[in-house]
Structures are given as structure tokens and as C-alpha cells.
């Protein structure tokens, strides 16, 4: 089983790659660093084309769209949220997800029962809207919407799509005060990915298996 993880150089992506390798799965991790297994800047279309070319004819059973940024943390409503931050965040968190999936569709189609997992966030939910972090929240809501629509379009091809809140995790993004260790989040997410199928395609779930309100 070949698993491709975007943003696998650190945080949850690195944790997933390490755990899957321990489970004996064939893991391909991407990242912007030159030391990444496959170099990929998800905000750059040409980088996606290079990634797909580097993979050759390898079937991908599971694509985990994990790469993301949170650039407006702590921004002030009156003076923050520069337009450039909107563009950069959406290029990574939304367009980057779409381009990853689009570039890898031929590889997913080679694997019967292929799956796509999109790491979104509880901050995508319009039910839970405490304010602030407007750019990040909007980008994760867009990624959720993207995943729901892809689930509809890819279901006839036998490709299931799930969208997931990984929890508040102790990573560079989540901070040291976060509730979950990376290991806890990773174990929960792997269980969610294993359970994903065409009956549950389009789901929005938490790391521990609860349906998340939209």
C-alpha cells in the first residue's frame, strides 16, 4: 500500500509518515525542503507537475493532503489580515489541496479503492464561530467544501474522500499548550483513514471518530 503525504517534513505529517513506516506501509513524504523525499511546494503548479512525473506509474492508495499554513494567528482586526496573507494562505490551504489531488488523480485511479484524506480543522465549521483567525478559518472552510464536492464527483470512480479535524495538537502550529500529542492525533487519524469508504465518503470527522458539525 503506497501512501503519499503532503507536508510530511514536520508536525502531524511527519508523525503520520513515521507511524505508517512502522506499520510496514510504503510511504512517500513531500515537503518544501530539499531534503524531503519528494520536493513539493503545494502553492506552485509546476511543483505538482514535477512531483507527478517523479512518481512515474506508482499507484497511490491513500493521498493525505496535510500541508498547510496558519499565517494570521493573533492578527488584529483593525490593522492585520494583509491581502498578501490571504493570497498565500489560500494558495497553500485550498489551491494546494486541489492541485495535489488533480496531479495525483492518474496515480489514484491505478489503485482500486483509493482514498483521499484532507486535513481541515474544526475552525472550518460555521457552527463553531468564536471569531478571529479569519484567513485560516476561511481557508479551512474552503478546503472542507472542496472535499465535500470532490467526494461527490469521485465516488463513481470508486475513490472515497474524507475531511478531518486532527485535534488541537502539540506541533509548531498548535503550540505547547495544545491538548493532544502528535502520537495521539496520528493514531486517531490513521483509524479514521482506515475506516473511510464509499459509504462514508464526504464525511467531516474529528481525529477520534466523531462527526463534526459543518
Digit-coded pLDDT (tens) for 49-72? 999 999 999 999 999 999 999 999
Q: Would you state the cell numbers that stand for residue 39, as one nine-digit string? A: 520536493
pLDDT the model gives residue 34? 84
Share of the chain above pLDDT 70, in %: 94
Burial grade of 214 (CB within 10 A; 0-12, 13-18, 19 or more): middle
- Residue 213 is given by DSSP the state P
Average pLDDT over residues 149-160: 98
Instruction: Please check whether residue 16 is in contact with residue 5, taking contact to mean a CB–CB distance below 8 angstroms.
Output: yes
Domain boundaries, the chain: 2-206
2-206 belongs to which homologous superfamily? NAD(P)-binding Rossmann-like Domain (3.40.50.720)
Alpha-carbon span 74 to 88, nearest angstrom: 17
pLDDT over 60 (residue 178): no
Alpha-carbon span 99 to 198, nearest angstrom: 22
Average pLDDT over residues 153-169: 92
Q: Would you state the cell numbers that stand for residue 27, as one nine-digit string? A: 510511504
* pLDDT, tens only, 67-89: 999 999 999 999 999 999 999 99
Of 111-115, 132-136, 162-166, 209-213, the least confident: 209-213
pLDDT over 90 (residue 170): no
Average pLDDT over residues 194-213: 94
In the chain, what's the furthest Cα-to-Cα distance?
51
pLDDT the model gives residue 127? 82
* pLDDT, tens only, 96-153: 999 999 999 999 999 999 999 999 998 888 887 788 999 999 999 999 999 999 999 9
pLDDT the model gives residue 125? 86
* CA proximity to 197, closest of 164, 151, 153, 165: 151
What ranges in 60-176 are assigned the alpha helix state H? 83-90, 96-109, 134-154
Amino acid at each position: 500500500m503506497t501512501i503519499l503525504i503532503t507536508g510530511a517534513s514536520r508536525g502531524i505529517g511527519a508523525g503520520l509518515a513515521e507511524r505508517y513506516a512502522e506499520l510496514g506501509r510504503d510511504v512517500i513524504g513531500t515537503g518544501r525542503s530539499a531534503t524531503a523525499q519528494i520536493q513539493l511546494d503545494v502553492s506552485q503548479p509546476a511543483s505538482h507537475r514535477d512531483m507527478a512525473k517523479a512518481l512515474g506509474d506508482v499507484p497511490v492508495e491513500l493521498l493525505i493532503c496535510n500541508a498547510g499554513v496558519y499565517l494570521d494567528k493573533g492578527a488584529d482586526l483593525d490593522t492585520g489580515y494583509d491581502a498578501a496573507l490571504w493570497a498565500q494562505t489560500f494558495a497553500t490551504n485550498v489551491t494546494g489541496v486541489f492541485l495535489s489531488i488533480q496531479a495525483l488523480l492518474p496515480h489514484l485511479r491505478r489503485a482500486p479503492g483509493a482514498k483521499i484524506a484532507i486535513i481541515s480543522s474544526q475552525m472550518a465549521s460555521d457552527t463553531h464561530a468564536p471569531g478571529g483567525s479569519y484567513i485560516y478559518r476561511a481557508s479551512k472552510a474552503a478546503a472542507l467544501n472542496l472535499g465535500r464536492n470532490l467526494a461527490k464527483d469521485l465516488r463513481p470512480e470508486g475513490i472515497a474522500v474524507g475531511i478531518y479535524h486532527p485535534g488541537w495538537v502539540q506541533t509548531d502550529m498548535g503550540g505547547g499548550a495544545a491538548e493532544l500529542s502528535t502520537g495521539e492525533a496520528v493514531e486517531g487519524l490513521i483509524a479514521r483513514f482506515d475506516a473511510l469508504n464509499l459509504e462514508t465518503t464526504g464525511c467531516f470527522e474529528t481525529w477520534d471518530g466523531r462527526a463534526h458539525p459543518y
